[in-house]
Each structure stands twice: as C-alpha cells, then as structure tokens.
Copies of this chain bind each other. A is one copy, B any other.
Amino acid sequence: MLRGMQTSADIAERLLEALLAGKFEPGSRFGEQDLAAVFGCSRTMVREALTRLSARGLVNVSPRRGWYVVEVTREQAQEVFESRRIIEVGILNNARQVSPESLRRLDAHIKRQKASFSRDNAGLRSFLLGDFHVCLAQCLGNSILAESLRDLTVRTTLAAMRFQSWKDATRSFNEHREIVEILHAGDLAAAASAMSAHLGTWDVKLSVPSERDSVSLLREALQPVDRPARDLHTRSVAKSRPARPARSTS
C-alpha cells in the first residue's frame, strides 16, 4: 500500500510519473477500487486524481466502464511533436541567457540520466529522459510551458509505446548532453537548433511505420508476452477491456 501525503494531487502526480516511466500501456484501464486499495484511500480521492489527469488529457473516462490511459492516434502524435517543437524551440529562442544555477541544475540532471543507465532501471530512465525537457523549460524560466511539457512528454511516451517508435535511449541522452553543453557555451540559437533536431529524429521514426490495420494489430497483440510483471502498482491495473467509445473530457 503506497503511502505518503495522500492528497489527490499526490496520487495524480504518482500516476503521471508512472505514465512517464512507461509503466502503463496506452489503453490500460485504471480501476477506481484497485487504485483506492493500492493507495490506501477511498475512491473519492482516486476519482479526484483521475479527474485531474483527465483534465490534462492523459486519461479518458468511458462512462460506467472506467478510466483508460489515452491511446494517442497517429495524428495526435504528430500534433504532440509539433507542439513540443514549437514550445521547446520557442523557449530556447526566447531566452536571453541561462543562469549559472540553472546550468548546475541541468548538469545535475544529466548526471542523473547517466546514472540511470548503469542501474538497469528502464522506468527511471524513461522518466528522466522525459523529465529533462521539463527541467530545461523550468531552467529557462517558463514554468507554465514546463507544466504543459509534462503532459506532452507523457503523451510522447505513450505514442512511442503505441507505435513502437522507440528512440534509442542512449542517443537521446547524448543529444541531451550536447544541448546542455551548447547552453554552457551560451549559444541559445544553436541549442534551439539542436533541440529541433533532437525532436525531429523522433517523429521521423514515428512516421515511418505504415498505418496500423486491424490485421497487424491482431498479429502483434497475439505475440507472446515474455515481459515479466514490472512494478508494484502496475499490478493493480487490468489490461484494457475490449474497447468502447471513451470520451475525452475537458
């Protein structure tokens, strides 16, 4: 039973982190009671947390059926990347300079990313690779867009899972490091270019695989899953039910 400051905001945060860490497949179902049991609280809190995530577009609710991790469509995924490029490149181009403190923070973050490779922790790695972008936005002084980026990085992760457009983690890390180096040099325009390229390599891959038809979907779904259960609170979610219209709420 996961504890510690059980407000609905905490629960939402926890779920968001897990999402960013890639612990839930798109389309996974979140049962209110299961989550309540896991977090040791009542359904009320869970519902509030899920409502928060819903408002941020990370989960959908299908009436009387449950909450489902969003299944980003290909078009939406393109939009996500477009949005990220606009925001992240925009922030870099808009910034005047990077404070020494921010540079230190970024260095520390890079170090954490690096460390996550030695420890074999795919979840943490995924989380940090996404979180870097949020951290960068914060360091550049725009916490509003940083917050938006949190949602977008999560959706990126989900889109990547869905379309299996894996970007090599090592490569991502190297590009992150490169960006930070450029920032140390103070060349924000160059950093913006590097960021644009960094994001570009993602969606190129994303657009490569052919459109997903129901046959390939089936074939893929029926592949044996040799991946073991991953983590504590992964266990509480049943895999997605047959699927039904789920409405996305504000």
User: Interface residues, chain A, CB within 8 Å of chain B?
Assistant: 7-9, 12-13, 16, 47-48, 51-52, 54-57, 76, 79-80, 82-83, 85-87, 89-91, 94, 141-145, 147-148, 152, 249-250
**Across-interface contacts of A82 in B (CB, < 8 A):** 94, 142
Report yes or no: B55 in contact with A56, Cβ–Cβ below 8 A: yes
Q: Output the least CB separation between A200 and chain B (Å).
A: 13
Q: In the docked arrangement, what's the CA distance between A48 and B49, Å?
A: 10
What residue in chain B is nearest A52 (Cβ atoms)?
Answer: B55
**Across-interface contacts of A144 in B (CB, < 8 A):** 57, 76, 79-80, 83, 152
Report yes or no: B142 in contact with A249, Cβ–Cβ below 8 A: no
Partner of A89, one of B79, B90, B145: B90
Q: Output the least CB separation between A6 and chain B (Å).
A: 14
Q: In the docked arrangement, what's the CA distance between A76 and B142, Å?
A: 9
Report yes or no: B143 in contact with A52, Cβ–Cβ below 8 A: no
**Across-interface contacts of A142 in B (CB, < 8 A):** 79, 82-83, 86
Q: In the docked arrangement, what's the CA distance between A94 and B200, Å?
A: 13
Report yes or no: B79 in contact with A147, Cβ–Cβ below 8 A: no
What residue in chain B is nearest A94 (Cβ atoms)?
Answer: B86
Q: In the docked arrangement, what's the CA distance between A12 and B250, Å?
A: 8
Partner of A86, one of B16, B48, B56, B91: B91
